[in-house]
Protein backbone atom coordinates (compact mmCIF):
# COMPACT_ATOMS: atom_id res chain seq x y z
CA UNK A 1 0.00 0.00 0.00
CA UNK A 2 1.05 3.58 -0.63
CA UNK A 3 1.55 5.46 2.64
CA UNK A 4 0.34 9.05 2.83
CA UNK A 5 1.90 11.30 5.46
CA UNK A 6 0.47 14.70 6.29
CA UNK A 7 2.15 17.52 8.15
CA UNK A 8 1.50 19.05 10.48
CA UNK A 9 -0.88 16.76 12.37
CA UNK A 10 -2.48 19.80 13.94
CA UNK A 11 -2.32 23.50 13.33
CA UNK A 12 -3.60 26.59 15.12
CA UNK A 13 -4.38 29.62 13.02
CA UNK A 14 -6.49 32.77 13.02
CA UNK A 15 -9.25 33.97 10.74
CA UNK A 16 -7.64 35.63 7.73
CA UNK A 17 -4.41 33.63 7.94
CA UNK A 18 -2.89 31.83 4.97
CA UNK A 19 -2.45 28.15 5.78
CA UNK A 20 -0.57 25.38 4.01
CA UNK A 21 -0.90 21.65 4.69
CA UNK A 22 1.55 19.18 3.21
CA UNK A 23 1.00 15.60 2.06
CA UNK A 24 3.78 13.23 1.07
CA UNK A 25 3.34 9.88 -0.68
CA UNK A 26 5.65 6.92 -0.09
CA UNK A 27 6.09 6.59 -3.86
CA UNK A 28 5.27 8.64 -6.89
CA UNK A 29 1.52 9.00 -7.50
CA UNK A 30 1.67 11.44 -10.42
CA UNK A 31 -1.25 13.81 -9.81
CA UNK A 32 -3.63 11.23 -8.34
CA UNK A 33 -4.10 13.17 -5.13
CA UNK A 34 -7.34 14.43 -3.60
CA UNK A 35 -8.09 16.61 -0.59
CA UNK A 36 -11.12 16.37 1.71
CA UNK A 37 -12.46 18.46 4.56
CA UNK A 38 -14.23 16.80 7.48
CA UNK A 39 -16.15 18.52 10.24
CA UNK A 40 -17.10 16.73 13.48
CA UNK A 41 -19.91 14.24 13.00
CA UNK A 42 -20.00 14.78 9.25
CA UNK A 43 -18.80 12.89 6.20
CA UNK A 44 -15.68 14.07 4.38
CA UNK A 45 -16.28 16.65 1.67
CA UNK A 46 -14.23 16.72 -1.53
CA UNK A 47 -12.30 19.97 -1.98
CA UNK A 48 -9.58 19.31 -4.56
CA UNK A 49 -9.13 16.43 -7.01
CA UNK A 50 -6.27 15.51 -9.31
CA UNK A 51 -3.92 17.55 -7.11
CA UNK A 52 -5.07 20.98 -8.26
CA UNK A 53 -8.63 20.90 -9.63
CA UNK A 54 -11.21 22.68 -7.50
CA UNK A 55 -14.40 20.72 -6.94
CA UNK A 56 -17.54 22.51 -8.05
CA UNK A 57 -18.96 24.73 -5.32
CA UNK A 58 -15.77 24.89 -3.26
CA UNK A 59 -14.57 28.44 -2.52
CA UNK A 60 -11.61 29.68 -4.54
CA UNK A 61 -9.59 30.35 -1.37
CA UNK A 62 -8.79 26.62 -1.45
CA UNK A 63 -6.05 25.53 -3.83
CA UNK A 64 -3.88 22.50 -4.34
CA UNK A 65 -0.53 21.88 -5.97
CA UNK A 66 2.14 19.26 -6.43
CA UNK A 67 2.91 16.09 -8.31
CA UNK A 68 4.96 12.97 -7.80
CA UNK A 69 5.34 12.56 -4.04
CA UNK A 70 4.84 16.05 -2.58
CA UNK A 71 1.59 17.97 -2.45
CA UNK A 72 0.14 20.98 -0.69
CA UNK A 73 -3.29 22.29 0.18
CA UNK A 74 -3.43 26.04 0.70
CA UNK A 75 -6.22 28.12 2.19
CA UNK A 76 -5.50 31.70 1.22
CA UNK A 77 -7.54 33.47 3.88
CA UNK A 78 -9.04 31.35 6.64
CA UNK A 79 -12.73 31.72 7.30
CA UNK A 80 -14.51 30.57 10.48
CA UNK A 81 -16.14 27.67 8.63
CA UNK A 82 -12.73 26.31 7.53
CA UNK A 83 -11.78 25.02 10.97
CA UNK A 84 -11.97 21.27 10.44
CA UNK A 85 -9.80 18.24 9.76
CA UNK A 86 -8.25 17.85 6.32
CA UNK A 87 -7.27 14.57 4.66
CA UNK A 88 -5.29 13.82 1.55
CA UNK A 89 -6.01 10.62 -0.43
CA UNK A 90 -4.16 8.90 -3.23
CA UNK A 91 -6.03 7.26 -6.08
CA UNK A 92 -2.97 6.08 -8.01
CA UNK A 93 -3.23 2.49 -6.90
CA UNK A 94 -5.54 0.10 -5.08
CA UNK A 95 -6.20 0.27 -2.20
CA UNK A 96 -6.77 4.02 -2.14
CA UNK A 97 -5.21 5.35 1.04
CA UNK A 98 -5.66 8.46 3.15
CA UNK A 99 -3.31 10.58 5.18
CA UNK A 100 -3.74 10.61 8.93
CA UNK A 101 -5.39 14.02 8.85
CA UNK A 102 -4.49 17.58 9.80
CA UNK A 103 -6.66 19.20 12.44
CA UNK A 104 -6.99 22.94 11.87
CA UNK A 105 -7.93 24.77 15.05
CA UNK A 106 -8.74 28.34 15.94
CA UNK A 107 -5.90 30.22 17.61
CA UNK B 1 -28.34 15.84 -6.68
CA UNK B 2 -27.09 12.37 -5.80
CA UNK B 3 -27.63 11.28 -2.22
CA UNK B 4 -26.39 8.19 -0.41
CA UNK B 5 -27.84 6.80 2.80
CA UNK B 6 -26.44 3.97 4.91
CA UNK B 7 -28.71 1.67 6.89
CA UNK B 8 -28.26 -1.35 9.10
CA UNK B 9 -27.83 -2.49 12.69
CA UNK B 10 -25.87 -0.20 14.97
CA UNK B 11 -24.80 -3.02 17.27
CA UNK B 12 -23.22 -6.31 16.23
CA UNK B 13 -21.93 -9.07 18.50
CA UNK B 14 -18.33 -10.25 18.24
CA UNK B 15 -17.77 -13.07 15.72
CA UNK B 16 -21.00 -12.19 13.89
CA UNK B 17 -21.44 -10.56 10.49
CA UNK B 18 -21.89 -6.84 10.04
CA UNK B 19 -24.37 -6.01 7.27
CA UNK B 20 -25.00 -2.55 5.87
CA UNK B 21 -26.89 -1.23 2.86
CA UNK B 22 -26.39 2.01 0.97
CA UNK B 23 -29.37 3.42 -0.90
CA UNK B 24 -28.61 5.78 -3.75
CA UNK B 25 -31.14 8.44 -4.74
CA UNK B 26 -31.13 11.26 -7.28
CA UNK B 27 -29.59 9.10 -9.99
CA UNK B 28 -29.29 5.55 -11.23
CA UNK B 29 -26.60 3.41 -9.66
CA UNK B 30 -26.08 1.89 -13.11
CA UNK B 31 -25.33 5.10 -14.99
CA UNK B 32 -21.93 6.60 -15.62
CA UNK B 33 -18.40 5.50 -14.82
CA UNK B 34 -18.82 5.13 -11.11
CA UNK B 35 -17.59 2.73 -8.50
CA UNK B 36 -19.58 2.36 -5.31
CA UNK B 37 -17.41 2.15 -2.23
CA UNK B 38 -17.39 1.51 1.49
CA UNK B 39 -15.04 3.43 3.79
CA UNK B 40 -14.81 3.33 7.57
CA UNK B 41 -13.48 5.54 10.32
CA UNK B 42 -12.88 4.42 13.91
CA UNK B 43 -13.63 7.09 16.47
CA UNK B 44 -10.95 9.77 16.50
CA UNK B 45 -8.98 8.06 13.76
CA UNK B 46 -8.42 8.24 10.02
CA UNK B 47 -10.22 6.84 7.02
CA UNK B 48 -9.85 3.27 5.74
CA UNK B 49 -11.11 2.13 2.35
CA UNK B 50 -12.91 -1.22 2.59
CA UNK B 51 -13.76 -1.98 -1.02
CA UNK B 52 -15.77 -1.08 -4.10
CA UNK B 53 -18.13 -2.51 -6.65
CA UNK B 54 -18.95 -1.58 -10.22
CA UNK B 55 -22.47 -2.09 -11.45
CA UNK B 56 -21.25 -5.02 -13.54
CA UNK B 57 -20.60 -6.75 -10.22
CA UNK B 58 -16.83 -6.43 -10.43
CA UNK B 59 -15.30 -5.89 -6.99
CA UNK B 60 -12.04 -4.86 -5.36
CA UNK B 61 -11.30 -5.18 -1.67
CA UNK B 62 -8.68 -3.86 0.69
CA UNK B 63 -6.19 -6.72 1.14
CA UNK B 64 -6.25 -6.12 4.89
CA UNK B 65 -9.95 -7.06 4.99
CA UNK B 66 -10.37 -9.14 1.85
CA UNK B 67 -10.93 -12.48 3.57
CA UNK B 68 -13.89 -11.07 5.54
CA UNK B 69 -15.56 -8.64 3.10
CA UNK B 70 -18.28 -9.06 0.53
CA UNK B 71 -19.78 -6.15 -1.41
CA UNK B 72 -22.79 -6.67 -3.64
CA UNK B 73 -25.11 -4.52 -5.72
CA UNK B 74 -28.84 -4.60 -6.40
CA UNK B 75 -29.46 -2.34 -9.37
CA UNK B 76 -33.23 -2.90 -9.21
CA UNK B 77 -33.30 -1.27 -5.78
CA UNK B 78 -30.52 1.24 -6.50
CA UNK B 79 -28.59 -0.16 -3.54
CA UNK B 80 -25.26 -1.74 -2.74
CA UNK B 81 -24.35 -3.63 0.38
CA UNK B 82 -21.47 -4.54 2.67
CA UNK B 83 -20.99 -7.72 4.66
CA UNK B 84 -18.05 -8.01 7.05
CA UNK B 85 -17.73 -11.35 8.79
CA UNK B 86 -16.14 -12.44 12.05
CA UNK B 87 -16.18 -8.95 13.51
CA UNK B 88 -14.23 -7.89 16.57
CA UNK B 89 -14.11 -4.70 18.62
CA UNK B 90 -11.52 -3.41 16.13
CA UNK B 91 -14.30 -3.20 13.53
CA UNK B 92 -16.19 -0.63 15.59
CA UNK B 93 -16.33 2.47 13.41
CA UNK B 94 -18.47 4.88 11.46
CA UNK B 95 -19.11 3.27 8.09
CA UNK B 96 -19.57 5.46 5.04
CA UNK B 97 -20.74 4.59 1.58
CA UNK B 98 -19.39 6.79 -1.20
CA UNK B 99 -19.40 7.21 -4.95
CA UNK B 100 -16.05 7.06 -6.67
CA UNK B 101 -15.80 8.74 -10.03
CA UNK B 102 -13.16 7.85 -12.58
CA UNK B 103 -12.17 9.67 -15.75
CA UNK B 104 -10.78 13.17 -15.48
CA UNK B 105 -9.70 12.30 -12.00
CA UNK B 106 -10.39 9.49 -9.55
CA UNK B 107 -12.01 10.59 -6.33
CA UNK B 108 -14.93 10.18 -3.94
CA UNK B 109 -17.40 12.92 -4.79
CA UNK B 110 -20.54 11.92 -2.89
CA UNK B 111 -20.69 10.39 0.57
CA UNK B 112 -23.42 9.12 2.83
CA UNK B 113 -23.78 10.69 6.26
CA UNK B 114 -22.22 7.63 7.89
CA UNK B 115 -23.55 5.09 10.33
CA UNK B 116 -21.92 4.04 13.60
CA UNK B 117 -21.51 0.32 14.06
CA UNK B 118 -20.43 -0.90 17.49
CA UNK B 119 -19.14 -4.41 17.99
CA UNK B 120 -19.95 -5.50 21.51
CA UNK B 121 -21.59 -8.36 23.36
Per-residue pLDDT 10s for chain B (121 aa) are: 999 999 999 999 999 999 999 999 999 998 878 999 999 999 999 999 999 999 888 999 999 999 999 999 999 999 999 999 999 999 999 999 999 998 777 999 999 999 999 999 9
Question: How distant is the Cα of A82 from the closest Cα of chain B, in angstroms?
Answer: 19
Do A101 and A86 meet the contact criterion of CB atoms below 8 Å apart?
A: yes
Q: What is the pLDDT along chain A (107 residues), one digit of tens a residue?
A: 999 999 999 999 999 999 999 999 999 999 999 999 999 999 999 999 999 999 999 999 999 999 999 999 999 999 999 999 999 999 999 999 999 999 999 88
From residue A70, how far is each of A91, B2, B44, B52, B110 by CA, in Å?
A: 14, 32, 26, 27, 26
CB contact under 8 A, A43 and B60: no
Q: What pLDDT is recorded for position B102? A: 82
Question: How distant is the Cα of A94 from the closest Cα of chain B, in angstroms?
Answer: 8
Task: For B103, list phi and psi in degrees, rounded to 5.
Answer: 95, 110
Query: Which member of A94, A95, A101 has the closest CB to residue B46?
Result: A101
From residue A53, how far is each of A32, A49, A60, A64, B106 by CA, in Å?
A: 11, 5, 11, 7, 12
A58 contacts in chain B (CB < 8 Å): none
Q: What pLDDT is recorded for position B56? A: 86
Q: What pLDDT is recorded for position A32? A: 96
CB contact under 8 A, B47 and A45: no
* Cα–Cα distance measured from residue A100 to residue A7, given in angstroms and rounded to the nearest whole number: 9
Q: Nearest residue of A to residue B41 by CA position? A: A43
Amino acid sequence: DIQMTQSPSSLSASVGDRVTITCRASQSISSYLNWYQQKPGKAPKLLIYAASSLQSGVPSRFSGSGSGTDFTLTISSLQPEDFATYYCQQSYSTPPTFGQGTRLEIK
Amino acid sequence: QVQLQESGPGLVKPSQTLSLTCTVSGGSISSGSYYWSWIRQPAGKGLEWIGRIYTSGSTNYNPSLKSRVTISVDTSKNQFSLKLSSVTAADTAVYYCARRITGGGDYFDYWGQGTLVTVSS
